[in-house]
Structure 1
Amino acid sequence: MEPVCEADAADNLLKLIRQLIVEEAYDGVKMLFYGPDPSKCAKNLHLMPAIAMDIYNEICFPSLNDEINSDDPELFDCSNELLKLLADYAPLEDLMLELMERIEESRSQAVFSAYIRALQVVLLRHGNQKPQALEWCLNSVFTRLQELPLPAYLSEGYDADQARLLEQDPKVEDLLAHYITVELFLEPLLTDVAVKDVPTGACQTFRDCSMSRRNILTCFLIQLLGKPLALLELSYVKKDMTVSYVQQIVKSLTEHVTQCIGDPYYLLGLVEKRARWQRKLDAAKGVFEMSSQNVFLIEEKLPLHALGMYYHALFVGNLLPPNAPKVYSSLFLLEAGIYLGAVLLEQTEPPLQFSGLRLIEHLVSELTVEIPEASLQMEVHKRFCMALCSIVGYSPQVPLRQLGLCVLRDYILSFGHSGKYFIIKNLLETLQHDGLMGYLSSMYKDLVNQALNQNETLPEVYHGAQFRSMLLLSVCCLPNDVKSDLLMNADRLNSALNIVRYFALRDTLNHTGFWNVMPEIEIKLLQPLGKALDFSLAHYKAYKDRVVNGQSASDDAMIKEQLNMLSMKITNSGVAGEGDSTMPDIGQKQKLEVLGSSITSLEQLLYLYLRTNECLEQSSRKRKQTEV
């Protein structure tokens, strides 16, 4: 066909398509390319490169929107099919840029699906050429997913009962529909990569981590496992729930990632490299994070929280393939997983924090050896412990705090004696949370008790100088001596008195050296605590009398402080909302209730104090009789 004639034929075809669209003969448009006469269809398809962008600009772009989809769905469907058809013939770069822009601007799943189908065709035409273009396109897709509106409670946290109804929320349904669309979009690309691209490591000594189609798709798939999909993860760990769409999507994405990288454990080795052995960036020398030749070391391409969700799916979701390598030790998996656990715990969204806890819980449960104390030299353990203790102490989600406490205990117990001692001692020296410090002190007491029951030589950390140091750190908890606020420190004081009482009764033979430390405990805890109890009880009872007589105005600041402390504890238990921190003015009845509660707490503390002194006296007499 002559060039002039071909141009005229293309122009005539464009006019015919326009006319058919105006006449709403949408089936006629379809027959031009998929009719019963193959020769005519082939001629029309041959003319498409010349008019593809004209069809897009004049027909597809104006028609692919929510208004047309609602008012004239047949026109929308016709334009959708035309767009997919012309994607095979239009100039790659021009159409690709248009599609990227439209995908980011789409505001409904139908429009998003129409443009992403065409983008799929464009990327298949690219083949393994220009992987950077593939990355740009996938970034546009992910940008759209991130911009989808979501219910506020996904970021604030939700319980198991709410999780059962999660997928019935219209916004969540829309998010899942987008994810399913993206999965369908990726399947031909992944198949094409599997067929045409040489598997990483198959023909070379070292794994190729450069910008290739396979690696870019791997990073994108892992990104999809991060936020916003990760915000739905709480429903995934409910054993009694039927298979949900979230589970299906997570399973499919995880399997695709594993298929791309081959060895599912491979990326764990890069986690420590990213977190511990970071490249020294130098803008003057042109050394930037994005300039790395290893795409897996760049946070923007492979966010660590998303990688954590991938390994959460593998381990907690039991999605490891049957042919996964068996050579990796459980200790390596835990030490690498702690980096990801810390990242997930540092996220602000409770679902991701839950996932971090579940991940570490699983890895600790799979340990076959003790974690060596030398491992604590890695900074990540401190980072992990502080993030975990922050959740245990201050999260408003009760189940999250409960699970966090179990994980903290199991994590500490996975070390040897020296490691346990080191962690507990350092946490007691750095934490400010009264209840958590009391729990750790009691945990050390239980460890000493276990060692005493074994009738063997006590490890060094449970007697002598190290025992003395830990004991004083555990029980000497009056920050301002006699003037300390006993109600504010009640949890830790109760724990301290119980520890002293326990060792007084249990270690009469002084195996630990407890009785050598008693003079210091007497001076630093028991004597000032006795005076503080007498003073506080007298003060609160006098204040109660003034309230009864209507003469308490000068002391009302104290009652407000007590109420604010109570409010903080209620909020921390997950009962109150965020707006409950400022307490209103209260009347006489409420004041008396608060004072009554405070006096009761002090009397309980006094009883424990007297009981502790009684046990000390009994054990002391018993020791003297034994010595005689």
Structure 2
Amino acid sequence: MEPAIEANAAAANLLRLIKQLLLEKAYDGVRMLFQSPNEASRNIQHMPLIAMDIYNDICVVNLVDEVNGREPELFDCANELLKLLAEHAPVQEMMMELMEKIEESRSHAVFAAYLRALQVILVRQGQDKPQAVMWCLQSVFTRLKDLPLPEYLSEGYDEAAGRLVEQDKQVEDLLAHYITVGLFEAPLLVDILQRDPRPDPHIFRHSTMSRRNALTCFLVQLLGKPLALLEMSYVKDDLTHTYVHQVVKNLTQEVTKSMGGDPFYLLALVEKRARWERKLNAAKGVYEMTGQNVFLIEDMMPLHAMAMYYHALFVRDLLPPTTPKIYSPLFLFESSLYLVVELLRQPEPPLQHCGLRLLEHVLINRGGASVPHFSLQLDVHKRFCDELCKIVGYSPQVGLRQLGLHVLRHYILAFDDQGKCLILKNLLETLQHDGLMGYLSAMFKDLVDKALMAHIRSGVAMPSEFRGKHFREMLMLCVCVLPNDVKSDLLLHADRICNAINILRYFALSDRRNVTGFWDILPEIEKRLLVPLGTALDFSMAHYKAYKERVENGQSASDDALMKKQLQMLAVNITNSGIAGEGDSSLPDIGRQEKLDVLTSSITSLEWLLSIYVRANEVIEQTARQRKLLQDAGPVLTPAPATEPV
């Protein structure tokens, strides 16, 4: 008999024997065929001939959830056969089959079985056809993206809910998949590091398609969504290491290894990805200038996933001790800011939260040196401020708004004096959110106060940004808050008006020496704010009291439009607090007593605003008289600033 025919006959007999043993449920017998030294030496040689038959006739049929639930021993036996035949089956054919099955799997057990076989195939593949390796890895990630998750992960959750997130069944299943993927890629990375060429030691390293770069992109992808949605469960001071923490730590360390130990290498590519507008070639599906660099392709390495890698490095303190020290703090800050903007643009609050924590860490650990104002020439600062102010002003997540405000303050204070004023000026000129504008105005007042006190107590020169022309421009932005002059809605802008009045009273008391030039600006402020505000307060108070009187007499039907406006304003305030839906126009009809309650509240607010206004005018007039007396008396020592609380 011909050797080939004899080999085919022996292989066919082996296949029939395996099927017979499975039919008889003799699973140990099947194992003995390939584990017993005597049997294995005779049977393994036939596997290349029958590998695909075993796969189609045995593995595909039995590696399903029904068999796993009904007869787990059969499932396990088929699983072991799959791993064995992966070592001998045709690589390309088997690879295509496994990719399809991995994407179709609907349980962790089936996913793990096919993934283990894919690991064997990829190791056998070696350095050949790295594009095929990339396709395999993408099929794995596709399965992870399709796993069901609780809706609250995308909607946002607080720290208390974050501590319990891993107890959710769907989250538990996702983490089980991620842990399995970690077991899958670890040996593959070891093989790549041993067999593939090391990164080019010169400045420009190899960035075209290769096994190493494909795996690097895959590992970074894994750190993005959906894993990133679990990041709000991380508490820095918590002593317990959760599964999320362990998965993120392992993936981050693997990425760093695959890049040759320099975790900041990818930061050099961030500006190319996020700053420069590149044309999209629809036919090729890639942007201009990205064809030779896989790290510039969004589908290969999503920018938000790259941001999560640096979030892990910085916030989770996973920078290796071998990290190069040559990178300047300004480069790290500006590069990280591009990534922060990308995270803030994501619709999911957990990713926005990660973006804020990333910037917070970079700001706190920037080395103490101020960020120079010329950095603001980069458009990324405008993008960042726009995205951050949206979150601070309108996010339904209270914790996110608070963290955003904290980060905004640290961001502004990180700059030199000129940079601080440039940011505040641009924000005050462009924002429409009264509460946030009031906060920024108060921040400017605090900056001037710090410089003024240093000047008075120690003779330190007053920075030009806080006196003269620059001070006037900023102060007018902070206090000129009547958009429609005497016709302005005082109740709608009450918080910002109150803040503006307090700022004026503060400078009247603190800067009696006119170091900032406040007293030179006061006549213009009186014309643009104080006089029209006094008139508006008189008109509004008289109008609301007359309206209340008509309601009490049952003659208010002609003015009910005003009442509806007041209720709509109340609804907007509730919306900004995260209680009601924005734009809710379904306002109920209200009765006489409800109208009176609203009007009483409005009149009380106006009286409170009037009292602050009157007191501020008294302080300004009194201080102005004192300054005139001192000027008339000659060059005597000006008394220290008053200690009246502001």
Tell me the TM-score range normalised by the shorter chain: over 0.9
Which residue in 2 is equivalent to 1:552? 556
1:26-48 Cα offsets, whole Å, 9 max, x none, are 2222222113xx24322221111
Deviation at 1:406, TM superposition (A): 1.3
Q: Of 241, 244, 254, which aligns to 1:243? A: 241
Q: Which residue of 2 aligns with 1:92?
A: 91
Q: 1:474 to 1:579 in 2, by over 3 A?
A: closer
1:480 is matched by which residue type in structure 2?
A: N
Amino acid at match of 1:211: M
Partner amino acid for 2:403? Answer: L
The number of equivalent residue pairs is 625
Q: CA deviation at 1:446?
A: 1.2
Q: Tell me how far apart the structure 2 counterparts of residues 374 and 212 of structure 1 sit (CA, whole Å).
A: 39
Q: 1:421-500 residue pairs with structure 2 within 5 A?
A: 421-455=421-455, 456-500=460-504
Determine the structure 1 residue equivalent to 2:595: 591
Residue 421 of structure 1 aligns to a residue in which SS? helix
Contact 1:236–1:247 (8 Å) recurs in 2: yes
Q: Which residue of 2 aligns with 1:370?
A: 370
Among 210, 216, 220, the residue aligned to 2:218: 220
Q: Supply the distance in 2 between the matched residues of 1:218 and 1:113 (Cα, whole angstroms).
A: 21
* Cα deviation, residue 147, structure 1: 0.8
**Residue in structure 2 matched with residue 384 of structure 1 by the alignment:** 384
**Quick check: 2:112–2:180 contact (8 Å CA) kept in 1?**
yes
Q: State the 1:286 CA deviation.
A: 10
Of 223, 229, 232, the match for 1:231: 229
**Alignment map for 1:293-308 (pairs within 5 Å):** 293-308=292-307
In the TM superposition, residue 602 of structure 1 has moved relative to its aligned partner by 1.5
Contact persistence 1:164–1:241 (CA under 8 A): no
Offset at residue 329 of structure 1 (A):
2.1
Q: Are the equivalent residues in 2 in contact too, given 1:289–1:298 (CA < 8 A)? A: no
Q: Distance in 2 between matches of 1:85 and 1:440?
A: 66
Residue segments in structure 2 that go unaligned for 5+ positions in a row: 633-646
The aligned counterpart of 2:54 is 55
Residue 550 of structure 1 deviates from its aligned partner by: 4.0
Alpha-carbon RMSD across the aligned residues, in angstroms, is: 2.0
In structure 2, what is the equivalent of residue 536 of structure 1? 540
How far apart are residue 339 of structure 1 and its match? Answer: 0.8
Cα gap change, 1:174 to 1:588, in 2 (>3 Å): farther
Q: How does 1:137-286 map to 2 (within 5 A)?
A: 137-202=136-201, 204=202, 206-240=204-238, 242-261=240-259, 262-281=261-280
AA aligned opposite 1:381: H
Does the 8 Å contact 1:160/1:238 carry over to 2?
no
Give 1:110's aligned residue: 109
Contact 2:21/2:27 (CA < 8 Å) preserved in 1?
yes
Task: Summarize deviations over 1:256-287 as a string: whole Å, max 9, x none.
Answer: 11111110111111111222235445669997
Match of 1:359 in 2: 358
Cα–Cα, structure 1 residues 584 and 127, in superposed 2: closer, same or farther, change >3 Å?
A: farther
The answer to whether structure 1 residue 607 and structure 2 residue 611 are counterparts is yes
**Structure 1 residues 195 and 572, CA gap change in structure 2 (3 angstroms):** same
TM-score by length of 2: 0.93
Are the equivalent residues in 2 in contact too, given 1:564–1:582 (CA < 8 A)? no
Contact map agreement 1:483 1:532 (CA 8 A) in 2: yes
Change (3 A) 1:450 1:41: same
Q: 1:81 to 1:549 in 2, by over 3 A?
A: farther
How far apart, CA to CA, are the structure 2 residues paired with 1:110 and 1:548?
A: 73
CA distance in 2, matches of 1:111, 1:290: 40
CA distance in 1, matches of 2:27, 2:291: 51
- C-alpha change, 1:169 and 1:283, in structure 2 (3 Å) is closer
Q: Which segment drifts farther, 578-587 or 21-30?
A: 578-587
When residues 283 and 67 of structure 1 are mapped into structure 2, their CA distance, relative to the original with a 3 A threshold, is: closer
SS in 1 for 2:565: helix
Worse-superposed segment, 56-65 or 168-177: 56-65
Q: 1:181 to 1:484 in 2, by over 3 A?
A: same
User: What is the deviation of 1:539?
Assistant: 2.2
Change (3 A) 1:205 1:432: closer
Uncovered stretches (5+) of structure 1, i.e. residues with no partner? none
Change in Cα spacing, 1:483 to 1:205, as seen in structure 2 (3 Å) is closer
- SS of residue in 1 equivalent to 2:266: helix
C-alpha deviation, 1:442, in angstroms: 1.2
Amino acid at match of 2:167: Q
Partner of 1:327: 326
In the alignment, what sits opposite 1:19? Answer: 20
2:240 and 2:286 map into 1 onto residues whose CA distance is 49
Higher mean C-alpha deviation, range 268-277 or range 470-479: 268-277
Contact 2:572 2:583 in 1 (8 A): no
Structure 2 SS opposite 1:454: helix
Larger deviation, residues 289-298 vs 315-324: 289-298
More displaced, 141-150 or 56-65?
56-65
Farther-moved stretch of structure 1 (212-221 vs 268-277): 268-277
Whole-angstrom CA distance in 2 between matches of 1:415 and 1:28: 73
**Residue in 2 aligned with 1:407?**
407
- The answer to whether structure 1 residue 418 and structure 2 residue 418 are counterparts is yes
Structure 2 contact 32–39 (Cα < 8 Å) conserved: no
The residue type equivalent to 1:395 in the other structure is S
1:546 to 1:342, Cα distance in 2 relative to 1, 3 A: same
How many angstroms apart in 2 are the aligned matches of 1:185 and 1:587? 68
1:573 maps to 577
In structure 1, the residue matched to 2:518 is 514
Q: In terms of mean alpha carbon deviation, does 566-575 or 278-287 score higher?
A: 278-287
Question: Could you tell me which residue of structure 2 aligns to residue 623 of structure 1?
Answer: 627
Q: Which whole-Å CA distance do the structure 1 matches of 2:495 and 2:100 have between them? A: 58
1:84-122 CA-to-partner distances (Å, cap 9, x unmatched) read 111111111111111111111111111111111111111
- CA drift at 1:578: 7.0
CA distance in 1, matches of 2:605, 2:481: 17
TM-score when scaled to structure 1?
A: 0.95
Judged with a 3 Å threshold, the aligned counterparts in structure 2 of structure 1 residues 287 and 339 are, in CA distance, closer, same or farther, namely closer
Contact 1:482 1:531 in 2 (8 A): yes
CA contact (8 A) 1:568 1:581 kept: no
**Aligned mates of 2:393, 2:116 — CA distance in 1:** 48
Q: Alpha-carbon deviation of 1:249?
A: 0.6
* Preserved contact between residue 237 and residue 317 of structure 1 (Cα < 8 Å): no
User: Whole-Å Cα distance in 2 between the matches of residues 132 and 172 of structure 1?
Assistant: 31
Deviations 1:470-525 (A, max 9, x none): 11111111111111111111121111111111111222222212122222211211
For residue 597 of structure 1, report the CA deviation from its aligned partner: 2.3
Matches within 5 A, 1:391-402: 391-402=391-402
Give the whole-Å Cα distance in 2 for the aligned partners of 1:424 and 1:484.
24
- The alpha carbon displacement at 1:407 in A equals 1.0
Paired residues of 1:331 and 1:369 also in contact (CA < 8 A)? no
Q: What SS class does the counterpart of residue 237 from structure 1 fall into?
A: coil
Amino acid of the residue matched to residue 329 of structure 2?
S
Deviation of the 1:581 alpha carbon: 7.1
Secondary structure of the 1:510 match is coil
Query: 1:579/1:243 Cα in 2 relative to 1: closer, same or farther (>3 Å)?
Result: farther
- Output one character per residue of 1:265-315: Cα deviation in whole Å (capped at 9) or x when no partner: 111111112222354456699974585211111111111111111111111
Secondary structure (helix, strand or coil) at the match of 2:263 reads: coil
Q: From the superposition, tell whether residues 283 and 250 of structure 1 become closer, same or farther in structure 2 (CA, over 3 Å).
A: closer
